[in-house]
Amino acid sequence: MAEDCPIVLLVEDNASLATVFTMQLENADIGARTCHLTTDALEELTRSQYALVLLDLQLPDRDGLELLSDIRRLGIETPVIVVTSDASVDRAVDAMRMGAQDYLVKPVTPERLLVTVQNALELSSFQRNLNAKSSKSQFAGAMTTSPPQPMYWALVRRRCTEKRPCGRRKNDWGNGSVLRKKAPSLFWGRGLSDKFLQKGRACVS
C-alpha cells in the first residue's frame, strides 16, 4: 500500500466486520483505522486528519447519528458514509440531512463498498481543489454565479453516465430511488443531487 494513500476512519463495533472492511480497503490502496466507540472516533477526528469516515449507527456508547451531529457541529468537514444494518428510511433521511454523503445497508458487497468510498474520496478531493482555487482568486464570490469550468462538468457527466454495481434486492439503497422519492434535495449518494445532475447534463450535451 502506498505511503500517501488516503486513510479512512472506520467506526464499527463488530471486530470481525471491521477486519473484513479493512482488508477490502487495503486491497484497493486505502488505509483504515478502527474505532469501536463514538468517543474514541471523535477524539481521533479532532486530533488527526482522515479522508473519510465509515460510520455504523448502532454503537455501544451512543447512536452513530449523535457522532455525525458532533462532527458537523465542530466544523469537521471529513465526508461521512453511513454503513449500517438499519434499513429505516427515516434514519437514512436523517443521516443525509445531517450531512452524510451516502447510506449503505449491510450486508455490503466489496464492490459496492469500494465504489462508494472511491466516489466519495474523488468528490471530496475535487471540492478541496475547487475551494483552494477559489480562495486564491479576488473574485471568489463569483464562483456561485459564474458558469462552472469544463473540468467540473466533465465530472458531472461521468456521474450521470457511470454504472454502479448495485443490485435491486430489498433494502438496497444503491440507486437512491427510495430516498429520492422521500427527500430528493437531501440525497447525495452519487455525490450530486438529481436537480444538479439535470443541470449538468444540459451543460455538457
User: What are the pLDDT digits (tens) for 118-144?
Assistant: 999 999 888 877 777 766 664 555 444
What would the pLDDT profile of 21-40 be if each residue is shown by its tens digit? 999 999 999 999 999 999 99
Whether 133 is covered by a domain: the verdict is: no
Helices (H), the chain: 15-27, 38-47, 64-73, 89-97, 110-136, 150-161, 177-182, 194-204
Q: Kindly state whether residue 105 falls inside one of the protein's structural domains.
A: yes
Select from 172, 182, 151 the least CA-distant residue to 109: 172
Q: Is residue 199 part of a domain?
A: no
pLDDT tops 50 at residue 199: no
The mean per-residue pLDDT over the stretch 35-63 comes to: 97
| Neighbouring C-alpha atoms within 13 Å toward the C-beta of 133 | 10
Q: CA–CA separation, 163 vs 28, rounded Å?
A: 19
pLDDT mean across residues, the chain: 78
Interatomic CA distance for residues 4 and 134, integer angstroms: 25
138 domain residue, yes or no: no
Give 58-89 pLDDT, tens digit per residue: 999 999 999 999 999 999 999 999 999 999 99
Is a pLDDT exceeding 80 seen at residue 111?
Answer: yes
Mean pLDDT within 43-61: 96
Counting the structural domains of the chain, the total is 1
**Domain containing residue 46: CATH number:** 3.40.50.2300
Does a structural domain hold residue 173? no
Q: How far is CA 81 from CA 95, 144, 170, in A?
A: 9, 26, 20
168 domain-assigned: no
Domain of 23?
Answer: 7-110
Residue 59 falls within a domain, yes or no? yes
Residue 72 lies in a domain: yes
**Which of 38, 37, 41 minimizes the C-alpha distance to 52?**
41
Percent pLDDT > 90 in the chain is: 58
Q: Say what the pLDDT of residue 33 is.
A: 97
Q: Which long-range contacts (CB under 8 A, 24 or more apart) does 73-78 make?
A: 74/45, 74/46, 76/45, 76/46, 78/9, 78/45, 78/49, 78/50, 78/51, 78/52, 78/53
- Report how far Cα 186 is from the mean position of its chain's Cα atoms: 13
Instruction: Answer whether 0.85 is exceeded by the pTM.
Output: no
Confidence at residue 155, expressed as pLDDT on a 0 to 100 scale: 52
pLDDT of residue 154: 53
Q: What 3-state class would DSSP assign to 91?
A: helix
pLDDT band at 172 (very low <50, low <70, confident <90, very high): very low
Does residue 41 sit in helix, strand or coil? helix
